[in-house]
Structure 1
Amino acid sequence: MIMLDPATKDWLTEHGFVVEDEELWQEALTHGSTGALRDYQRLEFLGDRVLGLAIAASLYRNVGGAEGALAQRLNALVSKGACAKIARTMGVPEHIVLGKQAREDGAAGSQNILGDVMESLLGANYIEAGYGATAELVHRLWAKELNGHAGRAKHPKSALQEWAAGNQRKPPEYKLVDRSGPDHAARFTVQVSVKNVGQTEATANSKQEAETEAARLFMEQYG
């Protein structure tokens, strides 16, 4: 039977997770690079849905505005970047179980991996303690972000789309120009262009994030 490192179990408990099935929690922290039969991907799938519902319910109860505004805030609060931020605050990088090469490649600091593990931990807690307890945990861990400005400003891609339309320009076009690095630490470079105006490029840990940053840079330069 697989047992958690005692320090990891204490760390999880201190942050409010309900740890009974240690094998489940070991799975939640294990990356595919280890070659283990079970890694965090299935729990990540579950945790992603739990997180989305918990945040959506909180926004519905506590935030006014139309559906579009709520959706914009939801997307910002459950994004990979938001999840990775919470994971870093909690100290997740010290407890991820990685293969030797992945760790040497810096996978413990990867935004994608940290975001995935954060979701997998929520999935594991849902299995152990149910939705109510996990939703409370989400609301506590995300309290600063829920009360902050995440998602309140217009998303850069939306802002660029509206800017192009308002200036009688063709819609912006996004193009993946480069993908580098191993799968667990991939880097994507995206170019966004508006015909007869200009173009900008940005690189990030996911294609979506690279598109967002490229749109932000475009608006800074041309908007």
Structure 2
Amino acid sequence: MKLNADLRAFEGRIGYHFTKPELLNRAVTHASMSSANRDDNQRLEFLGDRVLGLVMAEALLNLDPAATEGQLAPRFNALVRKEACAEVAREIDMGAVLKLGRSEMLSGGRRKQALLGDAIEAIIAAVYLDGGFDESRALILRLWGTRVLQVKQDARDAKTALQEWAQARGLPPPAYVQTDRQGPDHAPVFTITARIESGASAVASAPSKRQAEQAAAKTLLAQLERPS
């Protein structure tokens, strides 16, 4: 089969040309568009998740040979979680080439975090099946870019770091309060306030509560650790 112009352009964005274009076509087909004659990307997503995990585990081990399992686990989770996958998908405009059913399109499916995260995993699997493990590894490391190095430098997630800061000073764990929510159901923006018992607080907004909490914690921790 031949790819349309949008998918050929997408190949350029990810830096990989498919010898079996039907794999790419399947990888961008959401379950809402599946039929007896059209496969969706769910099985590819299942495989891609495992390939991504193996590549990231290998990359983290090679990057920091002295790291313990306890240090590696949160770094790994930060790289493979749906938020990270969706962020990568947005950078290559994954949403523009997704094949969605009408109801999914009308509900903003091209921007949904879970859908984008699943789709990039399906792309990884399609490359793996088309070109083998080395090609899929190269694709992942290319698309994730500096994130692998950055996650070593920012090894602890911000909420954990803030909680450790509070505990070290005899304070109870920080509180996270949702203070606002805007936007439609398919594209919400949450505003979270992070606060410690001493009264210090910080506010952040993001497309998910978890992201907003992490951002607020990071901002508050930076304030607390700033030299007076």
TM-score category by the smaller chain? 0.7 to 0.9
- Aligned runs of 1:37-186 on 2, under 5 Å? 37=35, 38-67=39-68, 68-100=70-102, 102-103=104-105, 106-146=108-148, 148-153=149-154, 154-174=156-176, 181-182=184-185, 185=187
Q: Is the 8 A contact 1:31 1:39 kept in 2?
A: yes
RMSD: 3.4
2:34 match: 36
- Deviation of the 1:95 alpha carbon: 1.0
Structure 2 unaligned spans of 5+: none
Q: Is the 8 A contact 2:2 2:21 kept in 1?
A: no
Q: Is the 8 A contact 1:4 1:25 kept in 2?
A: no
2:214 match: 212
Distance, in Å, in 1 between the alignment partners of 2:99 and 2:41 is 10
Structure 1 unaligned spans of 5+: none
- Deviation of the 1:29 alpha carbon: 1.1
Q: Is the 8 A contact 2:18 2:127 kept in 1?
A: yes
Structure 1 residues 145, 214: closer, same or farther in 2, change over 3 A? closer
- Partner deviation per Cα, 1:92-142 (whole Å, 9 max, x = no partner): 232122344544555434444333321121122223333333123222333
- Deviation of the 1:54 alpha carbon: 0.4
- Aligned runs of 1:14-29 on 2, under 5 Å? 14=12, 15-20=15-20, 22=22, 24-29=23-28
Q: Is the 8 A contact 1:4 1:26 kept in 2?
A: no
Q: Is the 8 A contact 1:47 1:120 kept in 2?
A: yes
Letter in 1 for 2:121: E
1:11 match: 9
Give the TM-score taking structure 1 as reference length.
0.74
Fraction of identical pairs, as percent: 36
Distance, in Å, in 2 between the alignment partners of 1:161 and 1:6 is 50
Structure 1 residues 141, 220: closer, same or farther in 2, change over 3 A? closer
